[in-house]
Amino acid sequence: MITIANTKMVAIGEAMVELAPVGDGLFRRNFAGDTFNTVWHMAKLLGPRADLGFVSGLGCDAISDAFAAELAADGLNPAGLMRDSTRTMGLYLIELDGVERSFHYWRSQSAARHLANDAAALSAAIDGAGLIHLSGITLAILAPEARSRLFAVLQSARAAGSVIAFDPNIRPRLWGSTQEIRDTVQQMLILTDIALPSFDDEAAHFLDADPAATVSRLARAGVREIVVKNGSAAVHFRTPETQGAVPTPPVANIRDTTGAGDAFNAGYLAGRMRGLGAEQAIGLGQRVAAEVLQHYGARVPKEVGARLSGMVV
């Protein structure tokens, strides 16, 4: 299997102000974003056994300061946070229909859209990382020239020994066309060691007939380790040594599906950083996702997060 050389990991992407419903027309303010959710849960799982950081853009305002302070207090390295005095954090609101969710976004002034403007600063932020994680949202929020800079930085990091993990996490509203999605994801797959797609995205935008087809297509693209999430259905996987499907255990008391895939990624990547095989790491990902499903919002409450470290040996 792929070997992650050290315990330094960075996630690259956008964190936003989250307004999550808690009932009776009330909302709780939090911070969330797909790759941030992943690395935050990894910090709870791994604690001081790993050096975990988040690379993004923030403003110079009070809400950005609050995010940076909370990130550091929760055990993440803030060195990769780049400040922009002309911008701030984006915001999104979760609307629930039962346990399913839809989102309303306000992100035009998000400083994270400029996280790849300075290639030297981005290179410094990920330097020496054993594992780098990013998503399709990371790519989608960037202007084409910034995306090209990010690809170049990732290529150099990979050549230096970093393992690149990528969740396509396709949000059509962030893209100009289906063709742009396909072309950009294909470019990213060339740089990807561990792919963590969701089957519904792959079926909708790449017309895969089933998760096995997704596995085969990504393997043909050169990805060595592939894990396909599929809601409550089995997780399909392939590594250089083995392949198969792991049933997803049922989850009771589901309140909100927001962030479940990000939490799965956290468990899987934390497991792989600790040397677990693919099937064991998938099981850990499923357990972390189950915790998120039982709470409102994209991240578990902090008192629950404090218990996650017991899941990892």
Q: Is residue 172 part of a domain?
A: yes
Q: Which residues belong to the active site?
A: 262
Helix ranges restricted to H, the chain: 34-46, 62-73, 119-126, 136-140, 144-159, 178-189, 199-206, 211-220, 260-273, 278-293, 302-305
Q: Is residue 111 part of a domain?
A: no
Over residues 108-132, the pLDDT tens digits come to: 899 999 999 999 999 999 999 999 9
Indicate which CATH number applies to the domain containing 133. 3.40.1190.20
Q: Is residue 30 part of a domain?
A: no
Contact in structure between 43 and 76 (CB atoms under 8 Å):
yes
Stretch 151-163: mean pLDDT: 98
Token representation of residue 165: 């993990």
Query: Is the pTM of the predicted complex or chain greater than 0.75?
Result: yes
Among 46-60, 87-101, 145-159, 252-266, name the one with the lowest average pLDDT.
87-101
Count of domains for the chain: 1
Q: Is residue 130 part of a domain?
A: yes
Q: Is residue 273 part of a domain?
A: yes
- Rounded Cα distance between 45 and 309, Å, is 4
Over residues 198-222, the pLDDT tens digits come to: 999 999 999 999 999 999 999 999 9
φ/ψ of residue 80, rounded to 5:
-90, 5
Q: Is residue 91 part of a domain?
A: no
Q: Is residue 74 part of a domain?
A: no
Q: Is residue 107 part of a domain?
A: no
